[in-house]
Amino acid sequence: MANKRKKISRTLERKLFQEAGWRCAVPTCPEGNVSLLQMAHIIPVEKDGKDEFDNMIVLCSNCHIRFDKDTEKTMDRKSMRQLKRNLSIINGRYSHFEFRVLEYFFKNKSINEIELYGRDLDVMYLINDGLLEIKPVRLQNAINFPPKIYLITKKGKEFIEHWTNIESLDEKLI
Q: What confidence tens digit (pLDDT) does each residue in 65-96 have? A: 888 887 666 678 898 999 999 998 888 899 98
Distance, CA of 146 to CA of 18 (rounded, Å):
34
In angstroms, the CA 57 to CA 87 distance is 10
DSSP state of 27: T
**H/E element holding 14?**
helix 10-19
| 11 pLDDT higher than 50 | yes
- Dihedral sign from CA coordinates of 81, 68, 26, 155: positive
pTM of the model: 0.81
Higher pLDDT, 31 or 158: 158
CATH classification of 96-173 is 2.40.50, yes or no? Answer: no
**Buried/exposed 44-59: b ≥16 CB within 10 Å, e otherwise:** eeeeeeeeeeebbbbb
Q: How far apart are the first and last CA of the chain?
A: 51
> In this structure, how many other beta carbons lie within 10 angstroms of the beta carbon of residue 6?
7
User: Looking at residue 57, what DSSP letter applies?
Assistant: E
Task: Say how far residue 60 (Cα) sits from the centre of its chain.
Answer: 14
Segments making up each domain of the chain, as ranges: 10-73, 96-173
With a cut of 90, say whether residue 136 has pLDDT above it.
no
